[in-house]
Amino acid sequence: MPPPAPVLATQSYRHCNIMNEGAVPGSPNYIIKYGEGCFNSKRQARRTVSVYEKYKDRVNFVVVNLDQKRSPAQQQLVKQYFQGYIPHVVVLDKSGKAVYNSSGEVDESPLSSLLDNALE
């Protein structure tokens, strides 16, 4: 029996096991910054789980909880990309260039297209 799929709690990302320390150079990266009490972040969490299932072997996923202490790598991502509103999603291509950097909710289909392009 395969191990259970990773779960992002819809109330919080606290129990998420896809949380990486920071962006991985040479790999596409999906970065989400969120707040625990934000309903929009909770909806985006569901989309994040869905795209994670599709891309987990090819894309590095970084989850940054803005309500918790962050690692130095996560703090650098906040400093470099955060625009002050949540949820905030950034997609970096293999070269580290931001191909998407926006606050607010984004549907799964555009996210998949962005990740497909970042993988090229």
The pLDDT-based confidence of 3 (bands split at 50, 70, 90) is very low
Confidence band, pLDDT 50/70/90 cuts, at residue 83: confident
Residue 9 pLDDT greater than 50, yes or no? no
pLDDT in tens, 15-35: 334 456 788 888 999 999 999
Q: 116-119: which pairs have CB atoms within 8 A and are 24 or more residues apart?
A: 117/93, 118/28, 118/59, 118/91, 118/92, 118/93, 118/94, 119/28, 119/58, 119/59, 119/94
pLDDT tens column, 37-75: 899 999 998 899 999 999 999 999 999 989 888 888 889
Least reliable range by pLDDT among 9-13, 28-32, 85-89? 9-13
Residue ranges of domains in the chain, CATH in brackets: 1-109 (3.40.30.10)
pLDDT digits (tens, 9 = 90+) for 89-115: 999 999 999 999 999 999 999 999 999
Whole-number percent of the chain with pLDDT over 90? 57
